[in-house]
Each structure stands twice: as C-alpha cells, then as structure tokens.
Chains A and B, each alone.
Chain A
C-alpha cells in the first residue's frame, strides 16, 4: 500500500510569508502528527490530529497551525515565516485512536528554507 505522502518535498520562502504543507496519510489511518526537525533542536512534536480534531499540541508559537480533513489528509500552516523556521517538517500517520503501542509511519518530509 502507498506510504505517507508529503508535498511539496522542497520549498523556499521569504521571511514574512506564509506556507502550507500537505500530508496524505496511509489509507485507513486516521491519526496524523507533525514534527519539526532541525540540526539544533532535533525532532520536536508540533501537533496531532485525529478525526479532524487536534488532540495534542507541542510547544510552538501560534504561527504554527494545522487542520485535518474528513479524508484524514492534513495540512500545516506557518504564518509570518522567520529564518528559524527553516527545517525538515515530517508528518506521521497511524491507525489511532491509540493503544499506546501503535507504530507511526513517517513521510519523507518537506524541506522548508526561509531566506
């Protein structure tokens, strides 16, 4: 079956702009989580959606937002981009709701560069 698909793979934006990233989970998976990966901070949890509802949120400013659609596809949006938002943004899908041993499947990520 198809894996987690993230689009676009690469993106270059200017400071102050906004950006929308897309994630299509594995068919049948209803939970989508987003992570930011930078060399300095490593992998950090952004937020998680299940059945169109945000269930968990990491410690990021309000400029970072997301949503999930009825087909489980998810988007995350970053407004007023800053240079420090340059990172690899990863999406993970899982069956959900979680028995705590559920495994997550990650996409290849979107590499965002802010100039």
Chain B
C-alpha cells in the first residue's frame, strides 16, 4: 500500500477552520484518498474520500492537489467534538475486491475552547 505522511499533532481554536495535511507522494493514478477519524473511546469513523476533484460533505471538505501528491482535510468550523485522531488512507487497485484499510499514525487534533 502506498504510504501517507501526516503531522503527529495539531491544535486549533474552537470555531476556527482547521486544515489537516496529508502527503502521499507515491500515490498511483487509481488510488482513492480516504479520511477517517477516531474519537476517544470509539471506533474509527468515515469522514470523506476523493480521487481527483475536491469533495464536500456535511462533515468536511477534501482538497486534493493537482498532482495528487498531497491533500488537505478541511473542517470549516471546528467544535470540541472534532477533537480526534484523523487518518489519511490510500486505497488503490491492490485493494480492489477487498476492504482492507491500512492506517498510519494519524494526526491528533486538539481543539482549544
């Protein structure tokens, strides 16, 4: 599986936008970029995914660089409930037909009231 690199931790003020970066310089043309988050004492939760174009949903936005070697998860207005570990995961053709997710160390996001 292609590797992703994320900062170990980030802090943000409540009600401010948060930009969580992910580098994936070895991404292949068919790799999808997925984001999951894990709140304390819970299982991971799907956030968003994309291939080439920027994506928006009710939880977040995903901005994908034109060369696809990096992406940014954007929380438009962080709340205390957004404090979690955020994982950036690539899923490519090697995953076709199976559901395996390869989690890295993720970014621990702390929200400051």
Chain A interface residue count, CB cutoff 8 Å, equals: 30
Contact across chains for A104 and B97 when beta carbons are under 8 A apart: no
CB–CB B100/A48 < 8 A: yes
Across the interface, name the chain A residue whose C-beta is closest to B98: A56
B105 touches A42 (CB 8 A): yes
Asked if B92 and A100 sit within 8 Å, CB to CB, the answer is yes
B43 touches A107 (CB 8 A): yes
Contacts of B34 in A (CB 8 A): 101, 103
CB distance from B35 to the nearest CB of A (A): 10
Of all A-B residue pairs in the complex, the 5 with the closest CB atoms, nearest first, are A106-B43, A43-B103, A103-B46, A56-B98, A31-B99
Interchain Cβ contacts under 8 Å between A and B, 27 examples: A35-B101, A42-B104, A42-B106, A43-B44, A43-B87, A45-B100, A45-B101, A45-B102, A50-B98, A50-B99, A56-B98, A58-B100, A94-B99, A96-B99, A97-B97, A98-B95, A99-B96, A100-B32, A100-B92, A100-B95, A101-B32, A101-B34, A103-B34, A103-B46, A104-B99, A108-B41, A108-B43
